[in-house]
Amino acid sequence: MVSDMKFEDGTLLRLRSPEPGGVPLLSLMPGLGAHRLAVRVEVERLDVAEAVNQATLSGELRAAGGLGWIGSFLPTPVPLRTKADRVSVDLIVPLISEQVLELERHRNGQDMAVLLDVEGALPQSSGHPFARVQEEQRVPASVWENQIEQLGLAVSFTVTVPLPMNGGPLATAAKHLRTADRQITAGEYPDAIRETRLAVGAMRKLNIWPQNGSKKRDDQDQDDRYGIILDRLTDQADAYADLVQAVFTQASGPQHNDGAIGRHHA
């Protein structure tokens, strides 16, 4: 990407993509259910009007190919009076896990194509302080998938179960998930984990999605990727169950101050 952002007061900024081999254009920073998608942009000042010392970049990010709007960039300040003529900034879009999953469905193993709609503003400008550029960018599938893998256990996905709940092949899984939801609300976490494992097991019995797949990433189709998600959900449920049991065991010592516990606290 090389785009010039020209303002009415004569200020001229050039926006560039990162150099190949450096920081990726798109990078995902994991959170607990909510994540940050950062778009790295290098801003070069070619001309700056008098009394202007800062620009603000904002705008929107869209998925190319018809999926549409992903999110809005958080307003990002760009200093224009630094010693270096070029500065790097990250335009941040908040994402939830469901959006990450939807992007993966849309991408379907291909390169990640996005449309950058970047707006610039000059708070100190005496002329018309706004300008705008649009650019479509493609991130290689291997680069984007490395970002997805870095999310790791921070990603949680919502499984949407078809209604009505009393019929259809997923009815059993739906009942387990509904029970787990009530148990989480009631603070009955071990029981909720058990019900979640039963739900995943019921989905596995449908024999729709491959299990314990060993295909290379480039050879995986959509069903293979769903199978991997179910495998990871099962592993996570087992790990959480072990963790909860360990915490319960640790908190279940004898209720007195003599013996080994008394000496430990002395």
Q: Note the residue count of the chain.
A: 266
CB 4 within 8 A of CB 14: yes
Whether residues 194 and 138 share a domain: the answer is no
Structure tokens at 79: 């200093």
Return the pLDDT at 60.
Answer: 95
**pLDDT of 136 higher than 80:** yes
178 forms beta bridges with none
Whether residues 75 and 200 share a domain: the answer is no
In a domain, 160, yes or no: no
Whether residues 147 and 184 share a domain: the answer is no
Whether residues 188 and 140 share a domain: the answer is no
Whether residues 225 and 115 share a domain: the answer is no
Nearest to 245 by CA among 187, 181, 191: 191
Q: Angle CA(238)–CA(216)–CA(201) in degrees, nearest 5?
A: 30
Whether residues 27 and 127 share a domain: the answer is yes
Q: Which of 62-66, 74-78, 182-186 has the highest mean pLDDT?
A: 74-78
Q: How far is 110 from 217, CA to CA, in rounded Å?
A: 11
Return the higher-pLDDT residue of 191 and 11.
Answer: 11
> Which burial class, exposed, middle or buried, applies to 172 when counting CB atoms under 10 A from its CB (0-12, 13-18, 19+)?
middle
> Which burial class, exposed, middle or buried, applies to 20 when counting CB atoms under 10 A from its CB (0-12, 13-18, 19+)?
exposed
Average pLDDT for residues 26-47, to the nearest whole number?
Answer: 89
**pLDDT of 49 higher than 80:** yes
Return the pLDDT at 250.
Answer: 52
Average pLDDT for residues 155-182, to the nearest whole number?
Answer: 65
User: By three-state DSSP, how is residue 16 classified?
Assistant: strand
Structure tokens at 182: 């009530």
Alpha helices in the chain (DSSP H): 97-107, 141-151, 171-185, 189-204, 222-250, 259-265
Q: pLDDT digit string (tens) for 183-220? A: 776 767 778 778 877 877 777 777 666 666 666 666 66
- Its domain, for residue 229, covers 171-250
CATH number at residue 78: 2.60.40.1820
In a domain, 261, yes or no: no
Which of residues 118, 151, 184 is at a domain's end? Answer: 151
Whether residues 62 and 17 share a domain: the answer is yes
Lowest mean pLDDT across 23-27, 109-113, 128-132, 191-195? 191-195
Number of domains the chain is built from? 2
Helix 171-185 and helix 189-204, axial crossing angle in degrees, nearest 10: 170
In a domain, 256, yes or no: no
In a domain, 163, yes or no: no
pLDDT, averaged across the chain: 78
Return the pLDDT at 212.
Answer: 65
In a domain, 157, yes or no: no
Whether residues 38 and 90 share a domain: the answer is yes
Whether residues 140 and 24 share a domain: the answer is yes
Return the pLDDT at 265.
Answer: 40
Confidence of residue 108 (pLDDT cuts 50, 70, 90): confident
Query: Which residue's structure tokens are 């992007």?
Result: 103
In a domain, 242, yes or no: yes
Residues above pLDDT 70, as percent of the chain: 69
Whether residues 6 and 138 share a domain: the answer is yes
In a domain, 145, yes or no: yes
> Which burial class, exposed, middle or buried, applies to 206 when counting CB atoms under 10 A from its CB (0-12, 13-18, 19+)?
exposed
